Amino acid sequence: MKDDDYLLLWHHAHIRLNDIRHQLIGVGGQLNAYRLPSPAFIYIVRGTARFRLDGKELQADRFHILHSGKGSLLDIDGIKEPLEYYLILYKASLPLLTAPFIRKLADNDSPFHKQYEFAPHDPVALLHLVKTMQQQWHETHSLQRIHVKALFYQFIYEVEQQLQMQGKQTVKPDLVEQVIRHIRECYSTPITLASIAQLLNYSAPYVSKQFKNKTGYSLIDFLILTRVDKAKELLLHSEASLQEISSSVGYPDLSYFIRIFKKTTGVTPGSFKARAGSSQQEADRPTLMLRLSDAARGFRRYIDMEHDKDYQYVEEGDFTMYKGTKASMGATVLLCLALMLSACSSGSGC
């Protein structure tokens, strides 16, 4: 079956999450003949073990993903260091009114029963999704359950996208790029150098040195700049209160957020928003040109790696205006009009 056929079936299927489990097995431990109650993804985040699905042996390491269908027998042994993994159980069904050719695809080779394992090209994005899903799965509020389902679709997208990269010429994800992506996606959550180093399985000094060498910024300074960048976007394009903006970018303490914002930009959030408002009134004036220092350009290159900002910073010294001549032209017109009226009043037949 072609990749597009698998994606077509994912698109038409009704997906329901049955359970999301965070599993830990110690050294020497094992799991014997566990029958999967539904199709499942297994995402290994720590350790190495020998997995068997229906007797087929798979040597799975850290950041490997396994998938199998309902009824498969799972065995795990050969654990030489603590094994940590997530088990995502789901159900997929096609609606009654599904087109016959879609049902035929599912009968021939359904992705929900397919058995495979692979090492994702970019494991960090998947890890963040899985951890968030598992944390919110145990919330009783219906809103969290809806969010978990949305995250599961995003997880499927990441898995299918990275599966399609298998067999193609790829390179190992750059460490700094992985850090930047993690910061961009998780800036609203608590982040430290130690937590990122642990996530990527590197020492904190090594991560710090590599990040500084490539970006020119310390990791924490980069995180602050990212959060301030997001705060500016909200100040310009939303009516959210300062407290709401502060919390949404990772600063529950409003006074601390204001201090960080002013230290970074030179103005308070309120002043920034006010200046932006006054600049908007000048929209019909000649074009404003944005000036960025080399360091700022470097930062913008990393922050905007995957998308362009739809806003510009309105801060003192950031813009150069090509001044127009509206005022002088207006004065000239008034002078000419006065001369014409004067000529008419003196009997020139006007």
The CATH number linked to 273 is: 1.10.10.60
DSSP string, 95-148: -TT--HHHHHHHHH--TTT--EEE--SSHHHHHHHHHHHHHHHT--SHHHHHHH
User: Any idea of the CA torsion for 23, 26, 29, 34, to the nearest 10 degrees?
Assistant: 0
Structural domain includes residue 346: no
pLDDT of residue 97: 76
Structural domain includes residue 139: yes
Same domain for 149 and 272, yes or no, is: no
Tally Cβ neighbours within 10 Å of residue 53.
21
Same domain for 295 and 212, yes or no, is: yes
Same domain for 304 and 209, yes or no, is: yes
Q: Copy the structure tokens of residue 57.
A: 């042996």
How far is the CA of 338 from the CAs of 30, 325, 332, 341, in angstroms?
Answer: 99, 20, 10, 5
Asked which of 103, 136, 171 is the last residue of a domain, the reply is: 171
Helix (H, G, I), strand (E, B) or coil at 73: strand
pLDDT of residue 231: 95
Structural domain includes residue 180: no
Same domain for 162 and 223, yes or no, is: no
Tens-level pLDDT at each residue, the chain (350 residues)? 566 777 888 888 899 999 999 999 999 899 999 999 999 999 999 888 899 998 888 767 888 999 999 999 999 998 988 999 999 999 988 888 777 878 787 777 788 888 888 888 888 888 889 999 999 998 878 888 899 999 999 999 999 888 887 754 445 568 898 899 889 988 999 999 998 888 777 889 999 999 999 999 999 999 999 999 999 999 999 989 999 999 999 999 999 999 999 999 999 999 999 888 766 554 444 433 333 334 444 444 444 443 433 333 333 333 333 334 444 445 444 444 444 444 444 444 44
Same domain for 294 and 228, yes or no, is: yes
Same domain for 105 and 232, yes or no, is: no
Structural domain includes residue 303: yes
Q: Scan for tokens 């919110």, then name that residue.
A: 136
pLDDT of residue 111: 82
Same domain for 160 and 213, yes or no, is: no
Structural domain includes residue 329: no
Asked which of 118, 142, 171 is the last residue of a domain, the reply is: 171
Same domain for 22 and 162, yes or no, is: yes
Structural domain boundaries, residue 51 = 3-171
Whether the CB-CB separation of 199 and 175 falls below 8 Å is answered with no
Structural domain includes residue 218: yes
Same domain for 30 and 147, yes or no, is: yes
CATH number at residue 149: 2.60.120.280
Structural domain total, the chain: 2
Helix (H) or strand (E) holding 99: none
Q: Copy the structure tokens of residue 62.
A: 């850290």
DSSP H helical ranges for 238-325: 242-248, 254-265, 269-280, 294-303
Structural domain includes residue 335: no
